[in-house]
Amino acid sequence: MEYLLELAASPTAWVALATLIVMEIVLGIDNLIFISILTNKLPEQHRQKARRIGIGMALILRLGLLSTIAFIVQLTEPVIDILGHAFSWKDMILIAGGLFLLWKATTEIHHSMDPAPDDPMSATSTVTLGFAAAIGQILMLDMVFSIDSIITAVGMTEHLPIMIIAVVVSVLVMLLAADPLAKFINDNPTVVMLALGFLIMIGMTLIAEGFGAHVPKGYVYAAMAFSATIEGLNMMSRRAKQKKIAAEA
pLDDT of residue 123: 39
Share of the chain above pLDDT 90, in %: 0
Mean pLDDT of 213-232: 81
Average pLDDT over every residue of 188-203:
80
9 by DSSP, 3-state: which? Answer: coil
Give the range among 87-91, 157-161, 198-202 with minimum mean pLDDT.
157-161
* Phi and psi at residue 87, to the nearest 5°: -120, 135
Q: Which of 52, 6, 15, 47 lies closest to 157, judged by CA?
A: 15
User: Can you give the pLDDT at residue 192?
Assistant: 77
Q: What is the pLDDT of residues 109-166, one digit of tens each?
A: 777 776 555 444 433 334 444 788 888 888 888 888 777 777 777 766 777 788 888 8
The CA distance from 184 to 216, in Å, is 28
- Mean pLDDT taken over the chain: 79
pLDDT at 67: 77
User: Which whole number is the average pLDDT over 171-175?
Assistant: 87
CA-to-CA separations, 46 to 51, 77, 79, 153, 191, in angstroms, rounded: 9, 41, 41, 33, 22
Residue 75 pLDDT grade (very low, low, confident, very high; cuts 50, 70, 90): confident
Residue 11 in this model has a pLDDT that exceeds 50? yes
Cα three-residue angle 81-82-87, rounded to 5 degrees? 55
Instruction: Name the more confident of 69 and 175.
Output: 175
d(CA 16, CA 150): 15
The span from the CA of 152 to the CA of 166, in Å, is 12
Does 182 score more than 50 pLDDT? yes
Task: State the pLDDT at residue 122.
Answer: 38
- Point out the least confidently predicted range of 35-44, 87-96, 189-198: 189-198
The pLDDT of residue 64 is above 60 = yes
In whole angstroms, what is the distance from residue 93 CA to residue 99 CA? 10
The pLDDT of residue 73 is 67
Q: For 69-122, where are the alpha helices, taking DSSP H only?
A: 69-74, 89-113
